[in-house]
Structures are given as structure tokens and as C-alpha cells.
Structure 1
Amino acid sequence: MHFVETLATEDLGNRSYLAGGRETAVVVDPPRDIDRVLAAAARRGVRITHVAETHVHKDYVSGGLELARITGAAYLVPAGAQVAYGRVPVADGDRAGIDGGLSLRAVETPGHTPHHTSYVLYDGDTPVAAFTGGSLLIGSVGRPDLVEPRLTRRFARAQHASAHRLAELPDDVRVLPTHGFGSLCSATQAEGQGEASTIGRERVHNIALTSDVDAFVTELLAGLDDIPAYYAHMGPANAAGPAPVDLTAPRIADAAELTSRLDAGEWVVDLRNRVAFAEGHLAGSLNFDGSGQLATHLAWLLPWGKPVTLLADTAEEIAAAQRELARVGIDRPGAAATGPAEQWAPGGEELRSFRRADFAALADAVAAAHEGGAAPVVVDVRRRSERATAGWVTGSVHLPLHELPRRIGELPPGTVWVHCAGGLRAAIAASFLDTEDREVIAIDDGFATARDLGLVTLPVR
């Protein structure tokens, strides 16, 4: 008798797993905020005896070391991983007893990293689930380019071999990856594949199992996009041994302190939704909606180590953001402020604002330009892969969001209409443009509407 409970970290597109029997359990690839894991184990009434890492993670700070310390669990880490702390080094074929007839078998699956190891859960002699980490994902595999560019092709070939090794398991074995639910550690985002799978289903649908190695490598490498900048800091943090997370509330800042922090070049981040921010915000602040993959977007753009102050409607929203940011190593906000935005401006100073519009308004502006009006400056902040597959607004300037802050000076003069695929990233970009005193209009609309209006140039296939 066994169970597997999924612990999703939606903002990063990752999953951790608690698996065990009546009394004891293992945790695979735990998040940094381990209180969630401890609560899940307490609800189940099980003791955590093992913590297993599939690899030294590049996209988030692991809670594995601290979880093992608190629970006294054996900390299973691939033997090939270079880490600075004590662990149980795991090699191919090693087994760990979990509960009664339950056991975990290590399977070397290099490709995402050179030391990557998957774990197969056995109930007696029967394999029932495979914790595949960043190896075999649902419809895809983990990206092979996070270690060293010169090794990417070699690691891509290794991913193909590792996927085929896992495919030797029986059809009904559940596939339980860590990445692939929006995570940028996934080589591709497999659309329409769902969030649950088995080895049998992957044999039919996964590119690594339906293509020969050369075709697979060619397609895999062609689909790789930019690596988030903060990934460079996650691997070293996990190899050194992350410090325990501190989620105590940050100190409260008044309007004068907020101004002082802005004047010092610090980032003051407004977590409110994009509509509220556009209608009125503290001059110099940046808009990262707390409900929209905050950790990924902010960590990618933030110069590493720069202090951050958080603004939100409520203390609960500050706490939620603080938890998300700790998962990627942004540990302690410098300060925070809540309440009406008017309270954040010094001396009754007016809040700044900018326009929001839809693609129909942009179509009108384009039509007016054809009649002799000023041509709109259209900026596309989607990633390169999105533009290459879905097309682009004709005449638009492409500045992926993560490149925008350092390239704003490249934009021609005039009113800037900024868009993404749905409006969230456009709002972030608009807040950066607003700090540079550019007249900006944030397009809050789905990109499909631009296609319907005839604004889009489609890629040649």
C-alpha cells in the first residue's frame, strides 16, 4: 500500500513529491519553503526518513538540506554532484527502503545535468512510479544547455538515451517529473499533453521516444530559448548548501523611506495588478503582479543582490510574495508597505499613471498613421520562441522583457505601445518605460486578437 502526493510550486512550474506508506515517506526534490512539506507529512501521519534530489537544481533553491537536517532523514544526492555538505551519495542501481515493501531505486539519467538521477518507486517487486526530475518530462525533456554551451549537443544526446532507458519500465508506471509545468527548465512546453502521464503514454507522445537521436537533437536545440539570468546563481547556492529560509515579515517603510530607497537606486516593486498600477503608482516603482509568476520575472530582471522593497494592498500579499521570492534566493526584502497607493507618495505628491489599450486601439493608431499621423512605436516583449512561432506585429521592435531595461535607449522617439502575449509582461515593461519618462501605452489584450485584426506578419514555415 503506497501513496504519492504532489506538492506543486506553480509560480516556478515545478513539482515536489511526498511518497510513502503507512508510517514513513520520502520527499523528492523539495522546495525551499519546507513548511509545506512538513505540513503534508503531518496530515498523512508519516515520518520523513529520506530526502532525494534528482540533481543540483539550476532554477530554484532547494530545501532538501534543511529538510533532512530537521527530520533526521537520509539525504540522497547523486554521487557525481559536487556539493559542499554531507549527503548519502547515490549511484545507479542503489536502493533505499522506504516503508514496509516500498523502496526507491536510483537510475542514472544524465542529460539535464551530467549527474542527473531519476528514482523509481517500487511496491514490493512492482515499479509503480518514476520520479524523473529534469529527464523525461510530460511530452518533452529537461533542457540540456544549463551546464556549459560546448556540452549542449552531447547532453541532448544523453537526454535521448536517458529517456529510452526510462521507457524500459512497464507501461503503467506513472511519470512524475519535477519540471515541465511552465518551468523554463523544460526544453519545450508540450501543449495539450496534460499534467499526468505514464511510461506507456510517453512512448506514444514524447519527442524523445518517437524520434531517432539525430532528429531529436536537431529539434530540441532549435527550440531552446534564453536562459533566465538568475539560473547562474541557483546551482552554486544549491551546491554550497542553502541557508534556512527566513519568512518573518519585513520592516514597514513610510513614504519618506520609499523615496530614499528609490533615490539610492534600489528597486521598489509594486505587487498590485496591472490595472491598479496603471491607474496610479509611486513614481519610480516597478510593477510585478504578485499573482503572475513573480519569482521568475523579478529574479530574471533584478540585478543580483540589489535590495528590493515590496508594495501591496495587504500584508498577506507581501507574505505570499516573500515566500515566492525566497524560492529563488531573493531572501529578505529591504522593507515593505501596504495600504492605499496614495500613502506611498511623499508630501501628497501625485501618483503617476499611463494608458492601457487593446489591439483594436493599436489598429486605429496604425490606420491613422497611414493617413499621415505619427506612426506608433510598437514594442514586442515576448521571448524569441514565441515570436518565431506565433508571428509578430508588422513593424514592431522586438525587445524580450529580460533585455528591455538595458536596451530602452535603443527605442525610437514617440509614444510606445508595448505588448506581450496576454498583458502581464507588457505591464512590467510599461513600468520600466514609465520610469524613463517615456509616454507608454500598455496593451492589455491577447495576441490572437492582433492576428484577427490583420496586424500580424506570420512566420514562413
Structure 2
Amino acid sequence: MILEKIVSEGLAHNSYLVGADGAAAVIDPRRDCGVYVEIAERHGLAITHIFETHRNEDYCIGSLELAKQTGAAILHGAAMDFAYGTPVHDGDEFAVGSLQIRVLETPGHTDESISLVLTDTGVSPDPYLVFTGDALFAGDVGRTDFFKDRLEEMAGKLHDALWQKILPLGDGVIVCPAHGAGSVCGGGIGDLPLTTIGYEKGTNLLLHLDRETFIREKSTEHHYIPPYFAMMERYNRSGVPPLAGRQVMRPLAPAEVEGAADKGALIVDIRGPAAFAGGHVPGSLNIWSGGLSSFLGYFASYDRPIVFVDEFNLALQSAEAQALRIGFDRIAGYLGGGMGAWNKSGRPIGRCGTCAVGEVDLHAEGQFILDVRDIRNRTAAGAIPGSYHVYAGEIEGGLAAIPKDRHVLVYCDAGFKGSLAASVLLRNGYGRVTNILGGMAAWKKAGLPVEWTGA
């Protein structure tokens, strides 16, 4: 038996290829799906089945593209009317070589969510592993907040799916979830390469709750919903546009970048906070390369081109892949030669203030301290005294509460989201903006006072 997990960094998305005896199945393929064909060819396997554990919200599913390349059948839960593929039901079984894949309907995260129990019939009649989609993760379970008018219902469905379908499979069964640590599809997913049902029963605190308490906990959780999720839901229900034939990203001269910005293109600087602060294209948005999957969808528009700015063009391929995986196909290009070329062109250079934590005077007049961390981090780790909170991804909607006539000091966990928020403020006409480098981590390391807000 061959089993390979393909991790899409940034999204913390896990997809899988499993196969035996010349046949293979792919579970939850990403949009740039060539990797599955390469793995299958390397092992002499033909991809015959493509399973979707649910209509994914945070990335474009690659099923149609992969099916076009391989002729494989696309299979997904019957509780949603997809525009493509074949619905499957609880108990349906599929042979992939000597492997048997059995469908479990496990709603809660979404109505059509399924899990897939794999048995290696050539070895044992007992289940070997289960692909749980967004039902069960390492250290967490799936979020159930997408249906605001059905919070308790969906939490109850997830509880019943876990306790009645997944946990009874056996303690030794390996759990293969659709996401790892850092995904927005869970609140506290553990950073483990793999887990088992028995390990989760022993360590996952949510699995220690009775049904009533579980429903209450899940119904009152706080999760952010990036605006691009709506497009992912539409794409993944009706079919994602093909990548084939897309124009290759090309270098742009400074004049072309300037012209694109004048016509409405979003300039995205993917360098780190210090580089951005030292000099950037005026009006650009600073999302460090590792944060594009998490934050580009808050600020980019599907009808607006994107231009990337990098240093030495080392992260451009990753940036493009991350954008395409969440459906942003209108990538006009990148600043050829990076900021060096921009500087040499004689055009204006934008700058952002920075400071160390020890330079912050809590009693200074005319300043406004802005916390842009996840609210859960503010609650759990404390805050800089007197600071005001707006999450980095939602800062454009919170500008009315941030005074333009004061010196705004921005901080986050370590400085990256702080630079993102600072760039948004600068783009919106704020004159004095400073990113506190090191963020709350440096603040606490320096032994500076901490305020416990509870919210």
C-alpha cells in the first residue's frame, strides 16, 4: 500500500494519495494538482477515484482538473447538490486495488461532510485509517459556525458523527484530517504529523465533554470568516475554473507597476516587516510570503489584478501558488528587480515607522496603541495596557475607530501582522504609523506590564 500526504503550506491543507495494485485514490486534491499525477506515475498507479470530504471553504478544490487529466470519478457527500461528480451515501464502498474505502456520513462542519474508512483487505478486515476531512483533527474538531442560524444543530450533528461513526472505529485506527496546525478550519489544531483515534480520545479535550457541554462549547466558539470564503463555496459547489492556459506571471518595469496601481491593481509586498519599513512602493499592502494564504483573501478582489513585490524574487513562485489556490487568478506580474529597481527609477518611496518594545512610552500623549492579534491570543496572553483591538484581517472595516490625528503604534504576536495592519493604515492616509517589532512576544520577554482584558 502507498500512502502520501501532500501539505499545502500557508493553508495548512492536507490532501492524500492512497493506492495499491496499480490503482489509486486522491482525497481532497488542491487546485494545482500535478503533484498527484507525479506521485501516481512514480509508483505505477492509475488514479481511479477522487473523493471530496466536503465543499471546502478555504481553498479551491482540484477535483475537476485532476479528473480531466486522469479520467477518475469524482465522489462527494449526497447532502449537497453539486454541479459535478457523483453523490455517495453512508455505507457505500469502493475498491481501489486491494484497498476498500467505505463512506461514513459525518455532518456537522457542513451538511455534506463525509469521512472515508480505509481497509487493506489483503492484510486484515479491520479498518486501518480514516480520512476525517474537517470532522476530527489532531487536538481539535471541525468548526461548526458557518450556519449562524443552526449553531446548536450543527454542533449536535458533529458530536453524533464523532461519537457514533468515527470513535467506534477503534483506538488503533490512524486519523488523516484535511488540515494541520495553523488552519482557519479549527481553533486549536495540534502540530502533529499523525494521530490515532485512541490518542485523540486520550488527549483531545473536546472528546471528553458530554453532548450538552460539547454543543455549548462549539456554539459559542469564535472564528474569523475571511470574505473570500464565499467565493470558495461557490467555486467548490459549481466547479473551479481550470488553470490550464493561464498566462505565466511576468516581470514588470516600475512604470508598468505604477500604471497598474493607477488602474486599480493591488500591489502586494511579500517581504518581511523590516524590509517593508525601510522602503516600499507607496500604497502597497504588506503581507509576508508565509501569510498570503491567511490574509490575501481579506484584502484582494477577484475582479482586481495583483502585482507582487519581492526581494531577489525568491518567494514569487510560492506567492503565485498561494494566490491561485484561493482563486485569485488575475496576477498581472511582479516588480522586476524588486525594490532596487523601484529605487533606481527615482519614484517616491513609502516608509513605515518601527520601534522596539523598550521604546514605547505608555504615558506619551497623542498616541493610540492598536492590537491586531487574533482575539483569542489577546485573551489568553494579555495585552499592552490601554491598547485597542481590531483583528488584522478586519482592520479596513474598523478604521472609523482608529484616529487619524494621533500617532498609531501597532503590535501583534511578533510583528508580521503588525506590518500588514500598518500598511493598511498608510494606504488609508494615516500619517504617523509605527509597527512595534517583536510584538507581544518581545513585550513579555522584556518584562513590561501586561493588561488582562478578557476580551
**TM-score, normalised relative to structure 1:** 0.92
For the pair 1:384 / 2:364, whether they are aligned, the reply is no
CA 397–304 in structure 1, closer or farther in 2 if over 3 Å, else same: farther
2:175 paired residue number: 175
Kindly provide the amino acid, as one letter, of the partner of residue 173 in structure 2. Answer: V
CA distance in 1, matches of 2:254, 2:143: 44
Could you tell me how far apart the structure 2 residues matched to 1:316 and 1:357 are? 27
Q: 1:424 aligns with which of 416, 420, 432?
A: 416
Amino acid at match of 1:37: Y
Count of aligned positions: 447
- CA–CA distance in 2 between the matches of 1:171 and 1:309? 49
The one-letter code matched in structure 1 to 2:443 is A
After TM superposition, give the deviation of residue 107 of structure 1 in Å.
0.4
Q: Cα 1:105–1:288, aligned 2, differ >3 Å: closer, same or farther?
A: same
User: Kindly, what percent of the aligned residue pairs are identical?
Assistant: 33
Does residue 1:117 correspond to 2:114, yes or no? yes
Q: CA deviation at 1:63?
A: 0.2
- DSSP 3-state at the match of 1:282: coil
Q: Displacement of 1:400 after TM fit? A: 0.9
SS of aligned partner of 1:11:
coil
Indicate the SS of the match to 1:451.
helix
| Equivalent AA in structure 2 for residue 395 of structure 1 | G
The residue type paired with residue 229 of structure 1 is P
SS at match of 2:127: strand
Aligned residue number for residue 451 of structure 2: 457
1:446 offset after TM fit, Å? 4.4
| SS of 2:131 mapped into structure 1 | strand
**In the alignment, what sits opposite 2:359?**
361
Aligned counterparts of 2:118 and 2:391: Cα–Cα separation in 1 = 41
- Asked if structure 2 preserves the Cα contact closer than 8 Å seen for 1:384 and 1:400, the reply is yes
Distance, in Å, in 1 between the alignment partners of 2:103 and 2:304 is: 40
1:4 aligns with 2:3: yes
Displacement, 1:190? 3.8
Q: Secondary structure at the match of 1:293?
A: helix
Query: Aligned residue for 1:393?
Result: 384
Cα offset, 1:263, TM superposition: 2.3
The CA deviation string for residues 25-75 of structure 1, in whole angstroms up to 9 with x for no partner, is 110001111012222222222211111010111111000121112101111
Residues 20-419 of structure 1 aligned to structure 2 (within 5 Å): 20-85=19-84, 87-100=85-98, 102-124=99-121, 125-146=125-146, 148-164=147-163, 165-186=165-186, 188-191=187-190, 194-246=192-244, 248-290=247-289, 292-315=290-313, 317-344=315-342, 347-362=345-360, 365-366=361-362, 369=363, 373-412=364-403, 413-419=405-411
Contact 1:55 1:81 in 2 (8 A): no
Q: CA deviation at 1:211?
A: 0.6
**Structure 2 vs 1, CA of residues 67 and 211 (structure 1 numbering), >3 Å: closer, same or farther?**
same
Partner AA of 1:311 in structure 2:
V
SS at 1:168 equivalent: helix
Structure 1 residues 460 and 300, CA gap change in structure 2 (3 angstroms) = closer
Deviates more, 1:58-67 or 1:39-48: 39-48
Q: Secondary structure at the match of 1:392?
A: coil
Q: Aligned with 1:120: secondary structure?
A: strand
- Structure 1, unaligned runs of 5 or more: none
* CA RMSD, 1 decimal: 2.0
The code of the aligned residue for 1:149 comes to: K
Query: SS at 2:252's partner residue?
Result: coil
Per-residue CA deviations over 1:245-271 (Å, capped at 9, x if unaligned) read 256422432222222222233211112
Q: CA deviation at 1:136?
A: 1.3
**1:390 Cα deviation (Å)?**
1.9
Q: Which runs of 5+ in 2 are unaligned?
A: none
**1:227 CA drift (Å):** 1.2
Work out whether residues 225 and 385 of structure 1, in 8 Å CA contact, stay in contact via their aligned partners in 2.
Answer: no
Q: TM-score, normalised by structure 2?
A: 0.93
Aligned amino acid, residue 272 of structure 2: N
| Structure 1 residue 420: Cα displacement | 0.7
Contact preservation (8 Å) 1:17, 1:30: yes
Counterparts of 2:69 and 2:273 in 1: how far apart (Å)? 40
Distance 1:91 1:444 in 2: 52
C-alpha distance 21-318 of structure 1, shift in aligned 2 (>3 A): same
TM-superposed CA distance for 1:235, in Å, is: 0.8
Deviation at 1:110, TM superposition (A): 0.4
Change over 3 Å in CA distance of 1:301–1:340 after alignment to 2: closer
Cα deviation, residue 180, structure 1: 3.9
